Chain A
Amino acid sequence: MAVTSPSETSTQPRRTRMGGVRRAFAPVSEARGMTRTMLWLGAGITLAFALIALLAPVISPYDFDTFEANGKRFPQLAAPSREHLMGTNVQSTDVLSRVIWGTQTELKVVIISLIISIGVGVPLGLFSGYFGGKLDRVLVLIMDALLVFPFLLLAIVIAFLLADKVGQGIFTAAIAITVVYIPLYFRVVRNHTISIREEPFVEAARALGARPLTIIRKYVFFNVVQNVPPLATLNAADAILTLAALGFLGYGIQPTEGAEWGYDVNRAVSDASTGIWWTGLFPGLAIVLLVVGLTLLGEGLSETINPVLRKRPVAPVDLEASHPLKVEDE
């Protein structure tokens, strides 16, 4: 009987190790119609902001707190002009620069927050869902309690408490946001784990003698992980808003630590009554755009991976060309 030679064998398995992940996200390439539009539009916007954040030092004309250049102080509250494309604010800093650097701040905080939330919420959800019992009951109680609190309120409280101890930096803001979102991942992953746990192939794994950790790792995780990206993107969108709100209320990033859109909008409120629109509009627009981009991406992913109506991708049918009895060949 033919058996693969050792050299052939060694190359094969490596290629397929990532295959599991790839297959979990295969539906993305099959997306059609409005879902596809949402996906690509959302991804585009998000990517654009990500690039801006990455290239901030390069593309930003000034630093976020620069108020003078070449010895000359910038005009205060100057309207948009060639030197200051988005104008300047009351502290004579360039609005455009603050928007660009603000992007970096926002994304930094959100990414740290996501990493922590997912890193805590997903494993907890997996274990709680798989093992059940007392651990599950306790965790569900805690997580449900957290979910009951309005996000913003909780974030404010945590930011307030941590401000004394850790200072008002990026990390504090990230933690404030994180705690609030852990229950979301926990709940989604736990529920999906519970349904996967009952599937025959998991029972088969038990029958083979696999240890619970192995089962969770190999059998449950890959089938559950597809829930995470849509949740993460929508989570990120919400986090941006929360962070901006924190900043607006004064509990966010300290102005000396970095630029933050919410803080800027807060400062711009008093400007508005005097007809100065550029200090508030541009940071505000940035918030809106990034949130919309992330939301589109998240909804697009959500539709693709867990569609409301599971539709098979359809292609056009040609009845004319193919009647079997008419295709008589000799």
Chain B
Amino acid sequence: MIAAPVVSVRDLRVYYGTLSGTVRAVDSVSLEIGAGEVLGLVGESGCGKSTLGRGILGLLPEGAASDGEVLFGDRNLVGMSDRELRKFRGPDLGLIFQEPMTRLNPLMRIEQHFAETLKQHEPGLKDKEIRRRSLETLGKMGIPPTRFNQYPHEFSGGMRQRIMIALALVLRPKLLIADEPTTSLDVIVEAQILSILADLRRNFGTALLLITHNLGIVAEACDRVAVMYAGQIVEEGNARDVFGEPAHPYTRELLRSTISLDTTELHSIPGAPPNLIEPPTGCRFHPRCPDAMQVCPARFPPEEVLEGRRRVSCWLHTPDERAGPIDRHPLEREELALAEEA
């Protein structure tokens, strides 16, 4: 689809086993991220977006198995040994997390953090060069050189997150995966960090996969957005188009239930997100979908490509020629037991 994607995920599945059954955290996901592009991955808690983000890097939970392809360059990262993956993590693929304090070593100064990272991945670098590159990257994040030898606890939350981002970017990765990077920050600081992330392509040429549950920041900071539900991507496309005219009912309902400054009425989606051990049959959103049809629980909707490079998995958008004879009558179901309400 995209001319030269930085990473191409095809039919990725990540399952892990628990005592109650196999959790299908990521269940056949395909997406591509172009160079310098910002892709937002949005979904509610438990939809598998964090597992997907880490799965791309091969950081799987204990006892997990994965299948499919994550093509980086011409290598498939799925199934690679940890030792080989480590060569990619850092110089090619960066990851930043939600809580920066827990990821920075409180006993090491900032300059030591950078020295360690750079020495590990670019062993030939001289100290002077290490310092120059570190200060330059930190400078772009707004961290002054006078604080280069301070300890993490001497910085505020927002500054620590900038340091984390700088640590990831100093290696000039092609792709940065940010998992809820601003969730624990105040709203003004969040906006500051977002503008840094949105400028990544301009300053560093890095592509960004921004994982979050906050639709607002995706709309403002991302070029494209993928909406995830119950381990699968239900809609993907240009941020402007998806938010302006959502194709999938879940996207639409999610937007409606988001409370913004313009909200005059409260909307919510009845029911609760399904558990990933025994997801509903057919289209997984059908128990909660206001537009569900008879075919929806019976068969899994195929992916349709709409104009403007939009992908959506929903029977509503599958034309008859492709679908064949399907029952489009509205689905009748008993009132969702109130007990299933979240």
Residues of A at the B interface (CB closer than 8 Å) are: 30, 311-319, 322-325, 327-330
Rounded to whole angstroms, the CA-CA distance of A42 and B16 in the bound complex is 32
Residue B63 is within 8 A (CB to CB) of chain A in the complex: yes
Is the beta-carbon distance between B298 and A312 smaller than 8 angstroms?
A: no
Rounded to whole angstroms, the CA-CA distance of A141 and B19 in the bound complex is 46
Rounded to whole angstroms, the CA-CA distance of A263 and B300 in the bound complex is 77
Is the beta-carbon distance between B18 and A314 smaller than 8 angstroms?
A: yes
Contacts of B19 in A (CB 8 A): 30, 313, 315
Contacts of A322 in B (CB 8 A): 15, 22, 24
Is the beta-carbon distance between A324 and B298 smaller than 8 angstroms?
A: no
Is the beta-carbon distance between B298 and A329 smaller than 8 angstroms?
A: yes
Contacts of A323 in B (CB 8 A): 13, 28
Which of A313, A318, A324, A325 has a CB less than 8 Å from the CB of B18?
A313
Contacts of A324 in B (CB 8 A): 24, 27-28, 232, 300
Is the beta-carbon distance between A325 and B16 smaller than 8 angstroms?
A: no
The 10 closest A-B pairs by CB, nearest first: A314-B63, A315-B17, A317-B65, A317-B17, A317-B15, A319-B67, A319-B65, A324-B27, A324-B28, A316-B17
Contacts of A330 in B (CB 8 A): 298-299
Determine how close the nearest CB of chain A comes to the CB of B12; give it in whole angstroms: 12
Rounded to whole angstroms, the CA-CA distance of A323 and B29 in the bound complex is 11
- CB<8 Å pairs between A and B, sample of 28: A311-B62, A312-B18, A312-B61, A312-B63, A314-B17, A314-B18, A315-B17, A315-B19, A315-B21, A315-B63, A316-B17, A317-B22, A317-B64, A319-B65, A319-B67, A322-B15, A322-B24, A323-B13, A324-B24, A324-B27, A324-B300, A325-B28, A325-B300, A328-B299, A328-B300, A329-B281, A329-B299, A330-B298
Is the beta-carbon distance between A318 and B22 smaller than 8 angstroms?
A: yes
Determine how close the nearest CB of chain A comes to the CB of B202; give it in whole angstroms: 39
Determine how close the nearest CB of chain A comes to the CB of B142; give it in whole angstroms: 34
Rounded to whole angstroms, the CA-CA distance of A313 and B13 in the bound complex is 21
Closest to B22 in A: A317
Contacts of A327 in B (CB 8 A): 300
Which of B16, B232, B300 has a CB less than 8 Å from the CB of A314?
B16
Contacts A311-B62, A322-B24, A323-B28 known; list 17 others, CB within 8 Å.
A313-B18, A314-B18, A314-B62, A315-B17, A315-B18, A315-B19, A316-B17, A318-B15, A318-B22, A319-B13, A322-B22, A324-B24, A324-B27, A324-B28, A325-B300, A327-B300, A330-B298
Determine how close the nearest CB of chain A comes to the CB of B176; give it in whole angstroms: 28
Contacts of B18 in A (CB 8 A): 312-315
Rounded to whole angstroms, the CA-CA distance of A34 and B49 in the bound complex is 34
Closest to A30 in B: B19
Contacts of B64 in A (CB 8 A): 317
Enumerate B1-59 residues with CB–CB distance to A below 8 Å.
13, 15-19, 21-22, 24, 27-28
Rounded to whole angstroms, the CA-CA distance of A322 and B13 in the bound complex is 10
Rounded to whole angstroms, the CA-CA distance of A121 and B298 in the bound complex is 63
Determine how close the nearest CB of chain A comes to the CB of B161; give it in whole angstroms: 25
Rounded to whole angstroms, the CA-CA distance of A319 and B27 in the bound complex is 10
Rounded to whole angstroms, the CA-CA distance of A108 and B21 in the bound complex is 46
Enumerate B52-96 residues with CB–CB distance to A below 8 Å.
61-67
Rounded to whole angstroms, the CA-CA distance of A315 and B64 in the bound complex is 9
Closest to A327 in B: B300
Rounded to whole angstroms, the CA-CA distance of A314 and B22 in the bound complex is 10
Which of A317, A318, A328, A329 has a CB less than 8 Å from the CB of B63?
A317
Rounded to whole angstroms, the CA-CA distance of A30 and B258 in the bound complex is 40
Enumerate B281-318 residues with CB–CB distance to A below 8 Å.
281, 298-300
Closest to A316 in B: B17
Per-residue CB contact flags for chain B residues 204-223 toward chain A (1 = under 8 Å, else 0) read 00000000000000000000
Rounded to whole angstroms, the CA-CA distance of A319 and B17 in the bound complex is 10
Determine how close the nearest CB of chain A comes to the CB of B304; give it in whole angstroms: 14
Closest to B19 in A: A313
Rounded to whole angstroms, the CA-CA distance of A323 and B66 in the bound complex is 12
Contacts of A316 in B (CB 8 A): 17
Rounded to whole angstroms, the CA-CA distance of A171 and B232 in the bound complex is 68
Closest to B302 in A: A325
Contacts of B281 in A (CB 8 A): 329
Closest to B65 in A: A317
Contacts of B15 in A (CB 8 A): 317-319, 322
Determine how close the nearest CB of chain B comes to the CB of A282; give it in whole angstroms: 44
Contacts of B300 in A (CB 8 A): 324-325, 327-328
Rounded to whole angstroms, the CA-CA distance of A323 and B21 in the bound complex is 15
Determine how close the nearest CB of chain A comes to the CB of B328; give it in whole angstroms: 16
Contacts of B24 in A (CB 8 A): 322, 324
Contacts of A314 in B (CB 8 A): 16-18, 62-63
Contacts of B298 in A (CB 8 A): 329-330
Rounded to whole angstroms, the CA-CA distance of A316 and B19 in the bound complex is 9
Rounded to whole angstroms, the CA-CA distance of A324 and B301 in the bound complex is 11
Rounded to whole angstroms, the CA-CA distance of A313 and B18 in the bound complex is 6
